[in-house]
Amino acid sequence: MTIALFADRAENWQRYRAPLERAFAERGLEVDLVNDTDAPETVDYIIYSPMGPVQDFAPFTNLKAVLSLWAGVERIEGNETIKVPLCRMVDEGLTGGMVEWVSGHVLRHHLGMDVHICHQDGVWRNGIVPPLARDRKVGFLGLGALGAVCARVLAGLGFDVAGWSRSAKDMEFPTFSGAAGLREILGRSEILVLLLPDTAATRNVLNNETLAVLPKGAVVINPGRGTLIDDDALLAALDSGHLGHATLDVFRQEPLPPEHPFWAHPKVTVTPHIASETRPESAARTIADNIARGEAGQPFVHVVDRKAGY
């Protein structure tokens, strides 16, 4: 019998237990799913969240893998007690949610919808006509599991899409990499979407210098990580008129403190880290698929590169 320990907050045990057991049964897996154990040496897999009770993995001497329920791993990848593969969450529900949120906000800014939504005052504002999607340049920083799918969907809607990643990638739209490539994509992006991980190499990727490369009036959309942007630099670029707007879903401190200037800034839209949620049904299938691979002696998928940090 395979033993899987669910190591997340108690309230999530109730949300995930039935979907996980159902996913195991569908794959013919005999898994004893528990949310506590007095015998850590018997545990084969840990289904993990940084908010859960397990921080020291050393007692789990026969562990095969740690399967994270989070897409981001910056709060766990540095844990030196993890000696087995660490797999991040990549699932259809999380991806679908991100595609919908990103597409919605790109279209909102492309069409200039805020002008009409925020001014229901009897004034007939029909003097501004947006360009067609094919004439709107949208840039993506980050072409991983989420960024690539979002970019493809927007390209499918006709937008002039380009992407940047730390290493070169060959995709069906223009891509850039490295420091020179970063300046190239920033210089062309009227709407910029950030979907990079939080690593030492990506923190403050948008700062005073790089924000200045964006076209005047550009919009920044960040559903990636709060650490990707220097907050003070962003506010300065908005106040100077260089940037047109920023729509932010992630922040350095969450919940965003009520006194933070983002809340009251007329050129900032705050959403409370809702761009994409891990949904129990689809996440359970991802977890079960990886356990099935492990039990069959196959390599796990979505394994974190501990050196790269994602």
Give the model's pLDDT for residue 128. 81
233-269 residue pLDDT tens: 999 999 999 999 999 999 999 999 999 999 999 999 9
Q: Give me the domains of the chain, ranges plus CATH numbers.
A: 2-91+278-295 (3.40.50.720), 92-270 (3.40.50.720)
Give the model's pLDDT for residue 117. 85
Asked whether 213 and 242 are in contact (CB, 8 A), the reply is no
What count of residues does the chain have? Answer: 310
Give the model's pLDDT for residue 306. 87
The runs of H, that is alpha helices, within the chain are 10-26, 92-111, 113-117, 145-156, 178-188, 208-211, 231-240, 261-264, 280-295
- Active-site choice (17, 152, 203, 273): 273
Give the model's pLDDT for residue 4. 98
Active site residue 225: yes
133-145 residue pLDDT tens: 999 999 999 999 8
C-alpha distances out from residue 10 to 17, 35, 143, 263, Å: 11, 8, 34, 32
Does the structure show a pLDDT above 90 at 29?
Answer: yes
- Active-site choice (188, 225, 285, 302): 225
Active site residue 260: no
d(CA 307, CA 1): 33
Tell me what the mean pLDDT of segment 32-48 comes to.
98
Tell me what the mean pLDDT of segment 118-140 comes to.
91
